[in-house]
Amino acid sequence: MSRREAPPLVPPLPAKGGRATGRVTITDVARVAGVSPMTVSRALKAPQLVQQASRERIMAAIEQLGYVPNQAAATLASSRSQVIAVLVPSLTNAVFIETLSGIRDYLAQAGYQFLIGETGYARAKEEQLISTYLSHAPAGFLLSSSEQHEILQAHPASRAIAAVRMFDLGRSNSDLSVGFSQSRAGFAVAQHLAQRGYRRIAFIAAQLDPRMMKRRDGFRKGLSAAGLEPATEVLLPQPTTVDMGAQLLRQVLQARPDCDAVFCCNDDLALGALFECQRQGIAVPGQLAIAGFNDLSWAACATPSITTVITPRYDIGYRAADMLIRRLKGQAIERGRLDLGFELAVREST
């Protein structure tokens, strides 16, 4: 007589599942493992509370059935979500990519996931994304501007949901924010150019978002404090590109041929301005000094290297995520208005 094969550890799934949709449910897993649905739930959330033999049957059933826990159902059952909604203006701008990296690294160790919304600097898109994400009941929001924070607070479904603002600083510790002073950074660039002896200074900018405008205001104040005349300003509302930096510099030189220094609102424009100077045979910094903003990875590698403002982009994301999770856990927050500061990197271009 041939030897009979041992029965499988887990019996096959009954013909009729628990849902008409065909989705494997926790009830299906419980039926196959021979335990209650509550035991399956406990094994997933607190396995140390379930006997080893039951855990093994449950895990075998999960593997056989291909069960995937329903996070939405878990959120409804517990009134808690493990998802953070994050809004940034752009997913192609290196500034925000580094901030998202900081958010990712902190949330991964904290056991949270995040949804990323790209607003394109458009208020209508911000309103749409905030409304959409609120319908999914996220645990909290990480926002990239004061305007987004205002939209969230005004939404009837916000229910005072936890939120931390990035880049911009709030007015007080009760307004959770992580960033630095854009105005003081612009002021510091103006003071640097004045101290180097530049007197006929220009300012070029694009993508005229509120952070950039605060930067410009600080720059204006810095020039005034140094006793210098207002800068020649050329501004465009379109997104910044390297080519636009060249275009804006040409406009500056047409309006003021004797310009001896230019502050560019970001490093993309500064690189374009540098390229345009090289095309026209304008010596940098001998005839024209150039300063940028953000210290993107190539700014120090340009020839000449570009003077710029170093901003703590990764740390902003990491510390903002930390602050939000602390708030969600009810932990004390020493400083709800966290100023990480900035640094002026003085290089060859000035």
For CATH 1.10.260.40, list the domain ranges present in the chain.
1-69
Supply the pLDDT for residue 16. Answer: 43
Confidence of residue 4 (pLDDT cuts 50, 70, 90): very low
pLDDT tens-digit map of 71-99: 555 555 555 578 999 999 999 888 999 99
- What integer best gives the mean pLDDT of the chain? 89
Using a pLDDT cut of 70, give the percent of the chain over it. Answer: 90
Per-residue DSSP letter, 307? B
Supply the pLDDT for residue 42. Answer: 85
Range 137-154 average pLDDT: 90
pLDDT tens-digit map of 29-48: 999 999 998 898 888 877 77
Q: What is the CATH number of domain 1-69?
A: 1.10.260.40
Supply the pLDDT for residue 284. Answer: 98
Range 298-318 average pLDDT: 97
pLDDT tens-digit map of 44-60: 877 778 899 999 999 99
Exposure letters 65-99 (e unless 16+ CB within 10 A, then b)? bebeeeeeebbeeeeebbbbbbbbbbeebbbbebb
Range 209-220 average pLDDT: 95
pLDDT tens-digit map of 271-292: 999 999 999 999 999 999 999 9
d(CA 100, CA 300): 23
Q: What is the CATH number of domain 182-310?
A: 3.40.50.2300
Supply the pLDDT for residue 47. Answer: 79
pLDDT at 111 over 80: yes
Architecture of domain 80-180+314-341: 3-Layer(aba) Sandwich (3.40)
Q: How far apart, in Å, are the Cα atoms of 237 and each of 49, 159, 208, 309?
A: 59, 34, 5, 22
Range 2-14 average pLDDT: 48
For residues 243 and 18, the model is more confident at 243
For CATH 3.40.50.2300, list the domain ranges present in the chain.
80-180+314-341, 182-310
Strand partners, 165: 143, 177
Q: Which own/partner pairs from 148-153 qualify as long-range (CB within 8 Å, at least 24 positions apart)?
A: 148/87, 148/119, 149/175, 151/123, 151/126, 151/127
d(CA 66, CA 264): 55
Supply the pLDDT for residue 72. Answer: 55
Range 315-335 average pLDDT: 95
d(CA 163, CA 170): 12
Is the CB of residue 239 less than 8 Å from the CB of residue 206? yes
Supply the pLDDT for residue 1. Answer: 43
Using a pLDDT cut of 90, give the percent of the chain over it. Answer: 67
Cβ atoms within 10 Å, residue 132: 12
pTM comes to: 0.77
